């Protein structure tokens, strides 16, 4: 899962980002409302976690703007404002849930799991198995028919994306956004390079090129 965390408390952001990454999520950061809106509108995120009190654009305004643009990405608002009126305003503006600071990590993950059920995803899944392919997200290991294979970090992330979406055509631009996002600078060529590298380690027929669009991973 790719998550956007928007909060201007840098110490809090570092701690929460580390925790979410331990849950096998890819986390991007924005420190103010306008930056958060710009990143959120790329449409590459599975979940938005947004603080209410932000510079330039409040969390309420950010969520409302996204909803007015037709963006339905599951959104969790974080805030120290704990009045009923504040919670009602957040939900009325389009947020899906509201969590009061300070909160426990267990409660956060329970809220995240509830929100992401809408996506048909299961947060916290430790092993992905598709046909003869088995990817362990905790040990970062990969086997084909029980035979272990070595993967680089980006190859692992690419294969994880394919295994989460078997028998679906994934456009190159989507693959690039999910794996490199705002870190990438070399463009779509990165996708082609890493698909080539991954193909050399897998049965060639399992990753099909869909001309002019992207790639399809055959689950069987």
DSSP string, 86-114: HHHHHHHHT-SEEEESS--HHHHHHHHHH
Mean pLDDT of the chain: 84
* CATH of 127-217 given 3.20.20.70, 1.20.1440.230, 2.60.120.200, 1.10.10.10: 1.10.10.10
Determine the Cα–Cα distance for residues 4 and 13; give it in Å rounded to an integer.
11
Rounded to two decimals, what is the model's pTM? Answer: 0.59
Beta strands in the chain (DSSP E): 2-6, 26-30, 47-51, 75-79, 97-100, 127-130, 133-136, 141-144, 147-149, 169-171, 207-210, 214-217
Q: What is the CA radius of gyration of the chain?
A: 19
Higher pLDDT, 117 or 23: 23
Report cis status (omega within 30 of 0) of the bond before 102: yes
Residues of the chain with pLDDT > 90: what percent?
A: 29
The answer on pLDDT for 23 being more than 90 is no
Cβ atoms of 159 and 131 within 8 Å: the answer is no
Residue 54: which pLDDT band, with cuts at 50, 70 and 90? very high
Cβ atoms of 86 and 52 within 8 Å: the answer is yes
* Phi, psi dihedrals of residue 11, rounded to the nearest 5°: -65, -45
Beta strands in 166-213 (DSSP E): 169-171, 207-210
Determine the Cα–Cα distance for residues 76 and 46; give it in Å rounded to an integer.
12
Residue 98: which pLDDT band, with cuts at 50, 70 and 90? confident
Most confident of 99-108, 113-122, 192-201: 192-201
The answer on pLDDT for 185 being more than 70 is no
| Domains 2-119 and 127-217 alike in fold | no
Residue 22: which pLDDT band, with cuts at 50, 70 and 90? confident
58-67 mean pLDDT:
93
Nearest to 116 by CA among 1, 16, 18: 1
Give me the CATH topology for the region 2-119: Rossmann fold (3.40.50)
- At residue 195, the pLDDT reads 92
Domain boundaries, the chain: 2-119, 127-217
């Amino acid at each position: 899962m790719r998550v956007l965390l928007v909060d201007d408390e840098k110490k809090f952001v570092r701690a929460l980002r580390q925790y979410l990454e331990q849950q096998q999520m890819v986390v991007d950061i924005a420190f103010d409302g306008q930056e958060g809106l710009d990143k959120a509108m790329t449409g590459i995120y599975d979940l938005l976690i947004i603080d209410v009190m932000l510079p330039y654009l409040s969390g309420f305004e950010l969520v409302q703007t996204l909803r007015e643009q037709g963006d339905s990405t599951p959104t969790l608002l974080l805030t120290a404002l704990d009045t009923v009126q504040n919670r009602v305003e957040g939900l009325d503006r389009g947020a899906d849930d509201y969590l009061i600071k300070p909160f426990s990590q267990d409660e956060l993950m329970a809220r995240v799991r509830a929100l992401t059920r809408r996506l048909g995803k299961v947060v916290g899944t430790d092993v992905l198995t598709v046909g003869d392919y088995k990817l362990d997200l905790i040990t970062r290991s990969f086997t084909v028919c029980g035979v272990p294979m070595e993967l680089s970090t980006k190859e692992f992330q690419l294969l994880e994306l394919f295994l989460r979406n078997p028998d679906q055509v994934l456009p190159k631009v989507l693959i690039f956004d999910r794996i490199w996002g705002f870190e990438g600078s070399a463009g779509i060529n990165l996708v082609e390079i890493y698909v080539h590298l991954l193909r050399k380690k897998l049965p060639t027929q399992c990753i099909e090129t869909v001309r002019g669009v992207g790639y399809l991973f055959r689950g069987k």
